[in-house]
């Protein structure tokens, strides 16, 4: 009998955030068990809604958005993104340097497929948003993880980056602000990374999807704004800042030393043409979304929902004996550390399953973010403070009696 197996291309691809623990949670839910889900960064199910203006705009433009667009996107969207680049001080961006995508996800796949030959290496942060590692592997490349250091606000460890560069390294990936740590990188650190890229002739991918979700008056700096002589691709989108993850609305911007990347850009254009275009109703709202008043800021100020949820989760986690966490400066994730000796944790996926089965709380274990040890997990703090209080109460009870077997 002929059977069908997954392609060998998928053999090294790891994408644990939607893996066996989530499957178990879904089985539990299907059998009627209520699971507190702190695992996916999707604002809409937690009572967040897009700004009304954005919804109205989509309805208004829907009739005119039925056909394919230019493969890179409609003019008004790309113009608005170009103006956003001006605000972010990314130099020298023309309409032609901008591509819309079905979320940043599609573009992460595109930029890695377009660049990598078997054996090429890309520096990827650990912990990371795991689609980067997965897509590098899928494209035949080798993800080489550099450490982000919890002792230094989860900033990338510059010496570790330097030590991992080989003659096969083509690029470095930055996720800034970071998922899962919530770190925002200061300008001085970004300058050091630019200097490394310059010296070793690497290109830079910067995933900045959380750049409009920063707390405490911190100003986000796009690394591309500091690297006019390095080829950069900056990725961004509306899934998080406008709470419309389901609309699949993202973009990428090429900047810096484009003359060094002519062949690669040809490849990107081909891949962009091959997917015809990103969804056009999603593109049609970009101009409205990026222009004018940014209502997301209200969530991020003291008294605002996401701000207060961050305060709550940060204090509650640090109050649980055996747990500690760095305060997130952006996004809506926290990445606590567990005292593995105290709880005898050797396997973080088993910990996640034990917690799920015992307390009906779903988190994502650190390995899902390509973190090396079994000592971390990620909480999405999008649920209300009331829900978070329930969840942290259960976590406290769980850890009070946990000793992994």
154 scored as a contact of ligand PLP (CB under 6 A)? no
Q: Alpha-carbon distance 333 to 329, whole Å?
A: 10
CA 224 to chain centre: 18
Nearer to ligand PLP, 112 or 343 (CB): 112
Contacts 24+ apart (CB under 8 A), 163-170: 164/123, 165/123, 165/196, 165/200, 165/202, 166/121, 168/119, 168/120, 168/121, 168/142, 169/121, 169/122, 169/123, 169/144, 169/200, 169/202, 170/115, 170/116, 170/120, 170/121, 170/122, 170/141, 170/202, 170/203
In the complex, what is the shortest distance from the CB of residue 373 to ligand PLP, in angstroms, rounded to a whole number?
A: 21
In the complex, what is the shortest distance from the CB of residue 323 to ligand PLP, in angstroms, rounded to a whole number?
A: 23
135 scored as a contact of ligand PLP (CB under 6 A)? no
125 scored as a contact of ligand PLP (CB under 6 A)? no
**Helix intervals (H) in 145-278:** 158-163, 187-200, 262-274
Q: State whether residue 203 is helix, strand or coil.
A: strand
190 scored as a contact of ligand PLP (CB under 6 A)? no
Residue 329 near residue 219, CB atoms below 8 Å: no
390 Cβ contact partners less than 8 Å away, ≥ 6 residues apart: 36
In the complex, what is the shortest distance from the CB of residue 179 to ligand PLP, in angstroms, rounded to a whole number?
A: 4
Nearer to ligand PLP, 206 or 343 (CB): 206
Q: Alpha-carbon distance 136 to 115, whole Å?
A: 9
Q: State whether residue 36 is helix, strand or coil.
A: strand
Query: In this chain, which of 61, 100, 105, 109 binds ligand PLP, going by CB under 6 A?
Result: 105
From 103-111, 133-141, 162-170, 339-347, give the range in contact with ligand PLP by CB under 6 A: 103-111
From 99-107, 271-279, 280-288, 315-323, give the range in contact with ligand PLP by CB under 6 A: 99-107
Token output for 334: 């926290």
In the complex, what is the shortest distance from the CB of residue 245 to ligand PLP, in angstroms, rounded to a whole number?
A: 5
237 scored as a contact of ligand PLP (CB under 6 A)? yes
Q: Alpha-carbon distance 188 to 300, whole Å?
A: 25
Query: In this chain, which of 16, 57, 97, 207 binds ligand PLP, going by CB under 6 A?
Result: 207
From 51-59, 98-106, 226-234, 348-356, give the range in contact with ligand PLP by CB under 6 A: 98-106
Residue 313 near residue 392, CB atoms below 8 Å: yes
129 scored as a contact of ligand PLP (CB under 6 A)? yes
Restricted to residues 9-48, the positions that interact with ligand PLP (CB under 6 A) are: 41
Nearer to ligand PLP, 202 or 209 (CB): 209
Query: In this chain, which of 144, 245, 286, 313 binds ligand PLP, going by CB under 6 A?
Result: 245
130 scored as a contact of ligand PLP (CB under 6 A)? no
Query: In this chain, which of 38, 135, 138, 175 binds ligand PLP, going by CB under 6 A?
Result: 175
73: phi then psi, degrees, rounded to nearest 5: 130, 165
Query: In this chain, which of 51, 73, 250, 383 binds ligand PLP, going by CB under 6 A?
Result: 250
Q: Alpha-carbon distance 334 to 331, whole Å?
A: 9
Binding site for ligand PLP (CB under 6 A): 41, 103-105, 129, 175, 179, 207, 209, 237, 239, 245, 250
């Amino acid at each position: 009998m002929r059977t069908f197996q997954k392609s060998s291309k998928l053999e090294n691809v790891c994408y644990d955030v939607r893996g066996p623990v989530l499957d178990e949670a879904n089985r539990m839910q299907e059998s009627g068990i209520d699971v507190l889900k702190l695992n996916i960064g999707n604002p809409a199910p937690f009572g967040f809604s897009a700004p009304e203006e954005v919804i109205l705009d989509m309805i208004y433009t829907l009739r005119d958005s039925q056909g394919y667009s230019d493969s890179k996107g409609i003019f008004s969207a790309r113009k608005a993104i170009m103006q956003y680049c001006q605000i972010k001080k990314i130099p020298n961006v023309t309409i032609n340097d901008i591509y819309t995508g079905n979320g940043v996800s599609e573009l992460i796949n595109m930029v890695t497929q377009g660049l990598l030959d078997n054996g090429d290496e890309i520096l990827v942060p650990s912990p990371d948003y795991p689609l980067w590692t997965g897509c590098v592997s899928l494209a035949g490349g080798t993800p080489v993880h550099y450490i982000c250091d919890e002792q230094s606000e989860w900033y990338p460890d510059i010496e570790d980056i330097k030590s991992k560069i080989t003659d096969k390294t083509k690029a470095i990936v930055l996720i800034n602000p970071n998922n899962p740590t919530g770190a925002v990188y200061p300008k001085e650190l970004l300058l050091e990374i630019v200097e490394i890229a310059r010296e070793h002739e690497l290109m830079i991918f910067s995933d900045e999807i959380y750049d409009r979700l920063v707390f405490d008056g911190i100003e986000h700096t796009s690394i591309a704004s500091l690297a006019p002589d390095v080829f950069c691709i900056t990725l961004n989108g509306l899934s998080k800042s406008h709470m419309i993850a389901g609309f699949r609305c993202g973009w990428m911007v090429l900047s810096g030393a484009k003359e060094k990347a002519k062949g690669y850009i040809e490849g990107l254009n081909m891949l962009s043409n091959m997917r015809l275009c990103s969804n056009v109703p999603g593109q049609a709202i970009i101009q409205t979304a990026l222009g004018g008043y940014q209502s997301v800021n209200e969530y991020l100020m003291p008294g605002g929902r996401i701000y207060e949820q961050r305060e709550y989760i940060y204090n509650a986690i640090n109050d649980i004996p055996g747990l500690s966490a760095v305060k997130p400066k952006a996004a809506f994730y926290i990445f606590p550390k567990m005292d593995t000796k105290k709880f005898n944790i050797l396997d973080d996926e088993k910990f996640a399953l034990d917690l799920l089965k015992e307390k009906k709380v779903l988190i994502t274990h650190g390995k899902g973010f390509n973190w090396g040890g079994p000592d971390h997990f990620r909480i999405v703090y999008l649920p209300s403070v009331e829900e978070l209080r329930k969840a942290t109460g259960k976590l406290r009870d769980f850890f009070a009696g946990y000793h992994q077997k």
